[in-house]
Amino acid sequence: MGKVKIVGKIIKTTGKIFAPTVTEQATKFVRKQIDKRDGYVKIPDVLSMPLDEAIKVLESYGFQTGKMQVEAHPKYATKKVEVVLRVAPRVGTSVAPGTFLKLEYADETTILNSKELLEEKNRVKANKKQKQQETVKNVGEKSKKIVTSIGEKAHIIKQNNK
């Protein structure tokens, strides 16, 4: 009998012996997880909502909330002041009632600083683009000079060969 057939018989034999126990344990685990999640509440979408209004909505669902101000970043430059920018755990996640939710927002100073960061980022990007264009122009001019020089030398060589 080949190795494959022997291994196959061993798997079939042990499967019949252990399968009921494994199936029972898996079933118990799944039931326990389902029971645990019974009563979970989906976090409502409060993104872009005024902070105070979002807190009232979330507390009406039984959640605990905390506010956290974000640091200035270019991505916040176009956002409104004191609105929910992010919720942790994420919106749409099912969690137990009473779960603590962190609400991230930006105040006026953060928005202004974010706008300055965005302007600086755009300046750097524009400067980089300008330098690239100048480099391309310089390479083009140098290439033209080299081609002209080669052409002139080739012409001189042809004249000398006559």
Q: Same structural domain for residues 103 and 75?
A: yes
pLDDT band at 153 (very low <50, low <70, confident <90, very high): confident
What's the domain count of the chain?
2
d(CA 50, CA 67): 12
Place of tokens 């006559």: 162
Predicted structure pTM score: 0.61
Q: Same structural domain for residues 1 and 71?
A: no
Amino acid at 26: A
Q: Same structural domain for residues 74 and 149?
A: yes
Is pLDDT larger for residue 71 or for residue 147?
A: 71
Rg (CA), the chain: 34
Interior angle at CA 56, CA 55 and CA 61, nearest 5? 95
Structural domain boundaries enclosing 9: 1-38
d(CA 65, CA 56): 9
9-62: per-residue pLDDT in tens?
666 666 565 566 766 777 777 677 666 667 889 999 999 999 999 999 999 999
